[in-house]
Amino acid sequence: MSAALLIPALLLDAVLGEPKAIWDRYPHPAVLMGRAVDYADKRLNNGLLRRAKGNLAMTLMGLAALALGEAISMIPDNGVLEIIAAAILLAQKSLVDHVQAVATALRSSLGDGRRAVAMIVGRDTSDMDEAAVSRAAIESAAENFSDGVIAPAFWFLFGGLPGLLLYKITNTADSMIGHRTPEYEEFGWAAARFDDLLNLVPARLTAVLIALSHGRFDASDAILRDAPLHRSPNAGWPEAAMAVVLNLTLSGPRSYNGEMREFPYVFPEGRRDAGPEDILAATRVLWRAWAGFLAITVLLSLI
């Protein structure tokens, strides 16, 4: 049943994305989830037993997400409501729009490109050259395609609306408190570990979709070699697949809060002269992989 509902949700998100006229007037569900995480952070992330309190906060938010999903699922004739909810919590069109905006800005000037990419990545951007801006946008495209499209769709497919809401609250919490910093190392531990677990299969599925939708049946060796080198247990998979498909070296050293950090390169044999055209090529990769996932969903709905 979930596959049949996911098909129109995927299409609705792909066509409409996040209508500004609606979300300027009403808080997006992701914003509400963010407020819940922020409330827990401010109330509980202090004093002793921070890990225990973080575990409790993540458990309560997860149970609340499951309960809300179950409540909506129990509404009679709720198919349309579930489709709309799923479409709102998918992010294909908005992701592509944000990534394309970096290419457009970079064509205008390097400064505009830096400002645009700073809206979608957490690293320092002030000293980036054109290639670094382009690679950052492409890396973000690959990682967020997994986190924002394939993973939530996957959990809706196999867990219905409760599964989707559980994934989204976990992913939101991870993005806000799942950092390895003195402030969040303990309190965000559960959010980070649970997010890693929920993304384990979707991240690898994303890599397969990216590679196979481009006929790159030979990509497995490079992906299996480079993906485990990534600082994240999951983000390296879609990033490595994207690098192979575009023949582009990704990741590598970058600066956070003024501190240069030495990360290994992904697909080091690829090109390093990335530019706006490569960013646009990455968005086309996203659409082809999205189409592949849609085709799989259609097949599942027919079984």
Q: Torsions phi, psi of 266, nearest 5?
A: -105, 125
pTM across the whole model: 0.95
Q: Torsions phi, psi of 218, nearest 5?
A: -95, 5
Is pLDDT larger for residue 250 or for residue 230? 250
Cβ atoms within 10 Å, residue 131: 16
What is the model's pLDDT at position 1?
62
Q: Looking only at Cα atoms, what is the longest distance across the chain?
A: 55
Q: Which among 197, 233, 193 has a CA at the least distance from the CA of 55?
A: 193
- Range name among 10-14, 99-103, 228-232, 243-247 with the lowest pLDDT average: 228-232
Average pLDDT over residues 216-222: 95
User: Do 158 and 301 contact (CB within 8 A), yes or no?
Assistant: no
Residue 252 binned pLDDT confidence (cut-offs 50, 70, 90): confident
What domain range is 254 assigned to?
2-302
What is the helix, strand, coil percentage profile of the chain, to 5? Answer: 70, 5, 25
Average pLDDT over residues 296-303: 94
Residue 180 binned pLDDT confidence (cut-offs 50, 70, 90): confident
Which tokens in the block code for residue 128?
């980036």
Cβ atoms within 10 Å, residue 8: 16
Strand 265-266, strand 250-251: pairing: antiparallel
Say which residues have a Cβ less than 8 Å from residue 5's Cβ, sequence separation at least 6: 79, 82, 83, 86, 156
What is the model's pLDDT at position 231?
85
Number of compact structural domains in the chain: 1
Is residue 49 left, alpha or beta, with left meaning phi > 0 and alpha meaning psi from -120 to 50?
Answer: left
Whether the per-residue pLDDT at 294 is higher than 90: the answer is yes
Average pLDDT over residues 216-227: 95
Q: Where are the alpha helices (DSSP H) in 146-264?
A: 151-177, 189-198, 200-212, 220-226, 236-246
Task: Write out pLDDT tens, residues 157-172.
Answer: 999 999 999 999 999 9
User: How much is the mean pLDDT over the chain?
Assistant: 95
Residue 258 binned pLDDT confidence (cut-offs 50, 70, 90): confident
Task: Write out pLDDT tens, residues 6-47.
Answer: 999 999 999 999 998 899 999 999 999 999 999 999 999 999
* Tokens 């709720």 found at: 78
* Rounded CA separation 169/187 (Å): 16
* Rounded CA separation 268/274 (Å): 13
Q: What residues does 254 pair with on adjacent strands?
A: 261
* Rounded CA separation 272/60 (Å): 45
Q: Which among 96, 116, 121 has a CA at the least distance from the CA of 106?
A: 116
What is the model's pLDDT at position 263?
87
Average pLDDT over residues 125-149: 95
Task: Write out pLDDT tens, residues 103-124.
Answer: 999 999 999 999 999 999 988 8
